Each structure stands twice: as structure tokens, then as C-alpha cells.
Amino acid sequence: MNIQTRVFWSVAALLAVITIAGCSQDGGNQSTVTGAEPKGALSDEQTPAKEPLHELAGTAWRLVKIMGMDDSVAEPEDRSLYTLKFGTDGQASLLADCNRGTGSWTSESGPQLEFGPVAATMAMCSPGSLADRYLAEFQWVRSYVMNDGHLFLATMADGSIIEFEPAVIPDN
């Protein structure tokens, strides 16, 4: 078994254990990132202390690689062209080579993570671009784990593990 296969299965196993552990706990500690303030909201003086933002809120990442269950590995030539930024308002911003996208994200409990539909530009990027594959992965993401400062997203049925490294993404 090569090192990429071992890494894939190690991360997949870790995500499975975390997901199972998160599902078995019923502590009612759910965190959902939303941007809408309900009508009739209390003033700042009346508002109870807010829950801390989700650990992904306000973070930015660059794609390292996409590892498939079939031992395939897709790595971008330029990591700065494939980014993911988690807004504090529940919106995600993406750069996929020559395209930009946006969509919602939620994390109801534990390591669960889902993205809403991603609206993206449809420019034709250069040959060898990972833009289409990268954008297509987000609809299938169901959980995440952070390990050694990297973010790993896992798709349904262990289809792919998407690895990111921290990034600094300027606001446009």
C-alpha cells in the first residue's frame, strides 16, 4: 500500500470515528453559522452572551490535493488559484483557477459540514485546470477534520478527501 493510500484511509478512518462519536452524543451543542438577525431582536444590552463562532468561521484555505478512493491524486500546479474562505455569515467564497464561486456552509454539530449550491462563473480555464473537479466536490462534502494545521474535507461515501493548508486571502 503506497503512502497516499495510507494517508487517505487514515484520514477517512479518523473522520468516520469523529462522525460516529459526534452522532452518539446528544449534548445539544449545535452551532450553525447564519447571517440573518431575527425580527424583533433584543438590543445589545438585552442580548444574552452569543455562542462563539464555529471554528471554521473567518478562516481561509488553499487546496493541497484531492485524494480519490481509487488512489487518484489531483494536485494543483499553483495552490493560490484554488482557495476556500469560510465567512462568519455562513457564506463561503471560492477561487477555482480562473473562476470564482460562492455558496452557503453549515455545520450543525461536531465535524459535520455541508455546503449549499455553489454559484460560480463558468470561464474556460487553461488545459490541465482542476476547476471543474474542485467545484464539483463541494456538493458532496459531509464532514471535516483538522490535523497538523491542515483542513480535510470528506465527501459522501468516502468518495474523496480534500486537503487544504491555511491561506491568507485578501478581501476584494
Domain definitions of the chain by residue range: 3-23+54-166
**Distance (Å) of CA 112 to CA 45, 70, 72, 121, 171:** 33, 24, 25, 27, 27
Least confident of 29-33, 91-95, 119-123, 151-155: 29-33
At residue 30, does pLDDT exceed 70?
no
pLDDT of 170: 72
- What are the φ and ψ backbone dihedral angles of 72, each rounded to 5 degrees? -75, 145
CATH class of 3-23+54-166: mainly beta
Q: What's the whole-number mean pLDDT along residues 117-128? A: 96
- Predicted TM-score (pTM) of the model is 0.72
Q: What's the whole-number mean pLDDT along residues 55-69? A: 96
Q: What is the mean pLDDT of the chain?
A: 79
Percent with pLDDT over 90 in the chain: 62
Do the bridges between strand 119-120 and strand 114-115 make them parallel or antiparallel, or are there none, so unpaired? unpaired
At residue 27, does pLDDT exceed 90?
no
Alpha carbons 83 and 167: distance in angstroms, whole number: 8
First to last CA, the chain: 44
